[in-house]
Amino acid sequence: MAIPNFLEGAAFGVLNDILAGYRDNNGFAQPNKYEVLIFPPAKLGGGQNQNVFGGMERQSDLRKISLRAQNVTLPGRNLSTTQESNIYGPDREIVEGVTYADDISMSFQASSGLDERLFFENWQRQAFNEKTWNIGYYNDYIGHVEMYVLDKQEQRRYGIKLWEVFPKTIGASELSYDANDQLMLTPVSFTFRYWTSLDQSQNPKIGIFDRVFDTVVNVAERNISRNIPKVLSRL
């Protein structure tokens, strides 16, 4: 009888350790805790593209885009290898290069005027001219994207930066009379050259009041934006 009691006690201890790990700040990552920051090419903020969001400031425009990213994909990375012959003993596998995911996908909640779609269409126009079909300069249409995984306190715990990014594909959006309780989504596939990890320990130090204020505002905006589909489904 002592053995079952011992096993029950051990299992209970393991369960407590798991729950304790989940409750503290270093608990498990959740896929709905994330932040996306999009930095388009500088030219996208001027000229005919300046009023793409009804004349709002550029920073506000980008914030709206980022908050409406409903689905995102963290990209992967692969080490390409080759077999190296060895006279003595088995061959060994060595690294000969590195490759990154071809594209990453994001879906954005669409406003009534499809401002998000217009934004990415304008970005694509930096790469080609619809009248002459000339192709633009590479540096004129690339930007970068930052992606963060957040903890339960909405603090950044892991981040990556995608370099030389542009929207390769603006996907189709389905229209249907039956979808009266759903939001239209604008799917976009981005291509990029490579990504690097962002060291969260190097984040600039800010005051406690500013940090709390920014966290509260960001949490409220993200929660409101991401819960809109649930609200619509109950109307």
How far, CA to CA in Å, does 78 sit from each of 72, 81, 94, 124, 192? 20, 9, 13, 28, 15
Q: Please tell me which residue, 199 or 225, carries the higher pLDDT value.
A: 199
- Structural contact between residues 172 and 53, judged by C-beta atoms closer than 8 angstroms: no
User: Is residue 163 predicted with pLDDT exceeding 60?
Assistant: yes
Residue 28 binned pLDDT confidence (cut-offs 50, 70, 90): confident
pLDDT tens, residue by residue, 144-161: 999 999 998 889 999 999
- For residue 189, the cross-strand partners are 105, 169
Could you tell me the pTM of the whole model?
0.72
- Structural contact between residues 41 and 126, judged by C-beta atoms closer than 8 angstroms: yes
- For residue 108, the cross-strand partners are 69, 186
Supply 17's token pair.
Answer: 């350790």
pLDDT tens, residue by residue, 99-119: 998 899 999 999 889 999 999
Beta strands in 40-91 (DSSP E): 69-72, 77-84
pLDDT on residue 176: 87
How far, CA to CA in Å, does 79 sit from each of 136, 197, 200, 213? 32, 16, 25, 42
pLDDT on residue 119: 93
pLDDT on residue 13: 61
Domains and CATH numbers, the chain: 30-85+92-233 (2.30.110)
Distance of CA 131 to the CA centre of its chain: 33
Phi first, then psi, for residue 106 (nearest 5°) are -140, 150
Phi first, then psi, for residue 197 (nearest 5°) are -75, 145
Residue 61: which of 108, 19, 17, 24 has the closest Cα? Answer: 108
SS3 category, 13: helix
